[in-house]
């Protein structure tokens, strides 16, 4: 009976976890809808202004029409686009005779129609995610009320593909003393809040033995993580602190990375007594480990050998056709809070600690990396919250040309990205329309644009401090 109760509770938790993941997707879908509605309103206002200045163009205006979710067309290359078996019967109408005289208006017509369609697309996704989340929640409630396991012929509802991430510690309790062997396509655990403990768990990369894992060659994918540290505002030196990751066992025959944090600032970490048995070169890798109270001790492989620990500098803004920006050292005023201090290793010594936090990095051979020293990180984080695009453009006369050159380069970097044209257009529109928005708030309009200006501000401040 005890095993049956445990099994029922496990099924209930699985259903609720899937429902939470779908609710997150629904929230993101609503965010995309809001973004497209805001973009459409601005385009409509721009078109009205154009027609006011050019009255003869009024006959060319194509009305904005709401697209029913069921009729919305997934953009070519979209992640969710289905392969159509029938060709559209709609014929492309010949352009009006005077269309060539008003290319700007014709472009605005197209952009507004794209917004209308994308709103319909994401409304359809919102309906699907919400409906699925409600069903899973109802199933969990029903199972909980029964107080027993479901019949053996009842299957837990599943989505088309396995979950990308099993646990997010900002929406789920940090796992402790659990066996996490459900299939995941990206990462097992995302640690997203400070003051948390991830202890006593066994993480098994079971998906590698499934048809899905073999078809998608997940064993060879190098950027999947068992435990990934992801602070809010990770690309703007967002911080996580007071974390304990201990007594966990991580098993994979593939290149699953163990404990990984690539972007952000990490402080007061305890990583000890973990066993990581994977084929990855990155068993424990952290960019941006700062402060005086970091404890990394007795982490071993399946043979009992100490694991190599890779420590790299703080990275700002990611890397999207811009090169990496690294902070090799901070100003004297920031040394206590953001300095690269020795790691506490107990009796392990430091031979296995590869500390490259102050070593110049040269990883982007195309765009080049920027390595900053004596950087005023505390002041920089304050400037992120107050400095606007307009203010930074006024300070740096070369920046506008750099932005436009970067927008051209993105096309070559992301040729296979879903909705690449819409993504670049959104970024370009945000650059023109959000000049008075603080850099820290740009993500609401374009995450790509925010990351560019995260780096641009750092480079400018570094130049000012010399």
Coil, helix or strand at residue 165: strand
Give yes or no for a contact between 374 and 331, defined as CB atoms under 8 angstroms apart: yes
In this predicted structure, what is the pLDDT of residue 88? 39
Average pLDDT, integer, range 360-364: 88
What distance lies between CA 39 and its chain's CA centroid? 22
Chain-wide mean pLDDT for the chain? 85
For the segment 257-284, the average pLDDT, to the nearest whole number, is: 97
pLDDT attached to residue 22: 66
pLDDT tier at 160, thresholds 50, 70, 90:
low
Interval 69-90 mean pLDDT: 48
**Distances from the Cα of 183 to the Cα of 164, 165, 174, 224, 226, angstroms:** 9, 9, 18, 12, 12
In this prediction, residues 215-226 reach a mean pLDDT of: 90
Residue 82 has pLDDT above 50, yes or no: no
Q: What is the pLDDT of residue 360?
A: 96
Q: 74-88, 266-280, 330-344 — which is least confidently predicted?
A: 74-88
Q: Which of these, 297, 286, 291, 268, lies nearest to 338 by C-alpha position?
A: 291
Q: Does the pLDDT of residue 157 top 50, yes or no?
A: no
pLDDT, one tens digit per residue, over 23-56 is 767 766 777 787 788 888 888 999 999 999 999 8
Pair of tokens at residue 25: 């997707």
Place of tokens 């990375």: 257
Comparison of pLDDT for 261 and 88, the residue scoring more? 261
Q: Which of 61-75, 205-219, 258-272 has the lowest mean pLDDT?
A: 61-75
pLDDT in the model for residue 440 = 93
On the question of pLDDT at 76 being above 50, the answer is no
pLDDT at 414: 59
Question: Which pLDDT score, from 0 to 100, does residue 84 have?
Answer: 35
pLDDT at 79 over 70: no
For residue range 272-306, list pLDDT tens digits in order: 999 999 999 999 999 999 999 999 999 999 999 99
pLDDT average, residue stretch 394-400: 95
Name which residue leads in pLDDT, 437 or 69: 437
Distance in angstroms (rounded) separating the CA atoms of residues 330 and 333:
8
**Domain extents in the chain:** 1-75+98-146, 169-374, 376-465
SS3 of 295, please?
Answer: strand
């Amino acid at each position: 009976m005890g095993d049956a109760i445990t099994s029922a509770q496990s099924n209930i938790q699985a259903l609720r976890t899937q429902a939470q993941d779908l609710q997150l997707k629904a929230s993101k879908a609503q965010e995309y809808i809001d973004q497209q509605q805001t973009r459409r309103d601005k385009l409509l206002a721009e078109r009205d202004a154009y027609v006011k200045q050019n009255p003869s163009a009024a006959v060319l205006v194509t009305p904005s029409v709401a697209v029913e979710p069921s009729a919305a067309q997934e953009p070519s290359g979209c992640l969710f686009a289905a392969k159509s078996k029938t060709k559209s019967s709609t014929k492309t109408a010949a352009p009006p005779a005077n269309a060539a005289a008003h290319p700007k208006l014709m472009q605005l017509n197209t952009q507004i129609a794209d917004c209308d369609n994308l709103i319909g697309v994401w409304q359809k996704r919102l309906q699907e995610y919400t409906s699925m989340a409600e069903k899973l929640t109802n199933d969990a409630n029903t199972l909980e009320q029964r107080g027993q396991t479901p019949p053996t012929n009842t299957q837990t509802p599943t989505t088309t593909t396995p979950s990308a991430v099993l646990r997010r510690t900002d929406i789920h309790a940090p796992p402790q003393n659990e066996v996490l062997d459900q299939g995941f396509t990206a990462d097992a655990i995302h640690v997203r809040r400070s003051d948390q403990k991830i202890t006593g768990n066994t993480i098994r990369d079971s998906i590698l033995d499934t048809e899905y894992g073999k078809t998608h060659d997940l064993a060879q994918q190098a950027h999947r993580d068992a435990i990934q540290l992801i602070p809010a505002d990770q690309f703007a030196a967002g911080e996580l602190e007071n974390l304990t990751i201990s007594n966990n066992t991580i098993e994979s025959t593939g290149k699953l990375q163990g404990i990984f944090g690539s972007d952000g600032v990490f402080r007061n970490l305890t990583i000890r007594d973990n066993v990581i048995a994977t084929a990855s070169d990155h068993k424990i890798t952290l960019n941006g480990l700062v402060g005086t109270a970091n404890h990394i001790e007795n982490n071993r492989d399946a043979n009992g050998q100490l694991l190599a620990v890779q420590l790299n500098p703080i990275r700002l803004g990611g890397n999207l056709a811009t090169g990496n920006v690294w902070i090799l050292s901070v100003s004297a005023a920031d040394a206590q809070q953001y300095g690269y201090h020795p790691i506490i290793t107990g009796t392990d010594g430091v031979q296995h600690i590869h500390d490259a936090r102050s070593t110049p990095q040269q990883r982007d051979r195309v765009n080049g990396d920027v390595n900053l020293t004596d950087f005023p990180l505390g002041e920089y984080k304050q400037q992120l919250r107050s400095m606007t695009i307009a203010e930074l453009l006024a300070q740096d006369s070369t920046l506008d040309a750099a932005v436009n050159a970067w927008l051209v380069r993105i096309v070559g970097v992301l040729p296979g990205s879903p909705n690449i044209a819409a993504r670049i257009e959104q970024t370009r529109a945000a650059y023109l329309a959000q000049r008075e928005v603080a850099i820290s708030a740009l993500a609401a309009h374009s995450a790509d644009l925010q990351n560019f200006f995260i780096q641009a501000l750092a480079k400018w401040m570094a130049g000012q401090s010399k």
